Amino acid sequence: MTAKTTASGVPYDAQGEMTDQARRDAAMKGFVKEFGAVAASHLESCVRCGMCSEACHFYVATGNPAYTPIHKLQPFEQAYKRHAGPFSPVYRLFGLVPSVTVEKLQEWERLIFDACTMCGRCTLACPMGIDIAELIKKARHGMFKAGLIPDRLQLMDRTARAWGSPATPAEDFADIIRDTGEELGVPMNVDRDKAEYLVTVAPAELTEHTKALADAAKVFNAAGLDWTYHTEGFEASNIGYLNGDLELQEKMTRKLIDCAVKIGAKTLVLPECGHAYGAARWEAARWYGGEVPVRVIHMTELLAEVVNSGKIRLKPIAQSATFHDPCQLVRRGGVNEAPRDVMKALDLKLTELENTKALTWCCGGGGGVVSNTRADPIRYKAFELKKREVDATGTQRFVTACGQCRITLNLGAKHFKWDKKVESLLELVADNLAD
Task: Give the CA angle between residues 238, 244, 247 to the nearest 5°.
Answer: 70
Residue 285 binds other proteins (CB under 8 A): yes
Residue type at position 11: P
Of residues 367-396, those binding other proteins (CB under 8 A)? none
Q: Say if residues 303 and 425 touch (Cβ distance below 8 Å).
A: yes
Answer yes or no whether residue 131 interacts with other proteins by CB under 8 A.
yes
Q: Which letter does DSSP use for residue 190 in this model?
A: B
Task: Tell which one of 10, 40, 186, 261 touches other proteins (CB under 8 A).
Answer: 40
Q: Which is nearer to other proteins, 39 or 411 (CB)?
A: 39
- Residue from the set 10, 18, 46, 174 that interacts with other proteins by CB under 8 A: 46
Using rule CB under 8 A, residue 251 touches other proteins: no
Phi first, then psi: give them for residue 267, nearest 5 degrees.
-135, 135
Task: Check residue 95 for interaction with other proteins (CB under 8 A).
Answer: no
- 344 is a site residue for other proteins (CB under 8 A): no
Q: Which of 357, 380, 384, 423 binds other proteins (CB under 8 A)?
A: 357
Q: Does 254 bind other proteins (CB under 8 A)?
A: no
The C-alpha atoms of residue 243 and residue 351 are separated, in whole angstroms, by 35
- Decide if 408 contacts 275 (C-beta within 8 A): no
Residues in the chain: 435
Distances in whole angstroms, Cα of residue 312 to Cα of each of 106, 115, 306, 308, 376: 52, 41, 6, 9, 40
For other proteins, which is the closer residue by CB, 248 or 312?
A: 248
Q: Binding to other proteins (CB under 8 A): which residues in 57-86? A: 59-60, 65-66, 68, 70-71, 83-86
CA distance from start to end of the chain: 53
Taking a C-beta distance cutoff of 8 angstroms, is the pair 424, 205 a contact?
A: no
Q: Do 337 and 345 touch, CB atoms closer than 8 A?
A: no
From candidates 5, 45, 319, 396, binder to other proteins by CB under 8 A: 45
Q: Which residues bind other proteins (CB under 8 A)?
A: 26, 28-29, 32-33, 35-38, 40-42, 44-51, 53-55, 59-60, 65-66, 68, 70-71, 83-89, 123-131, 134, 145, 247, 281-286, 289-292, 330-336, 355, 357-359
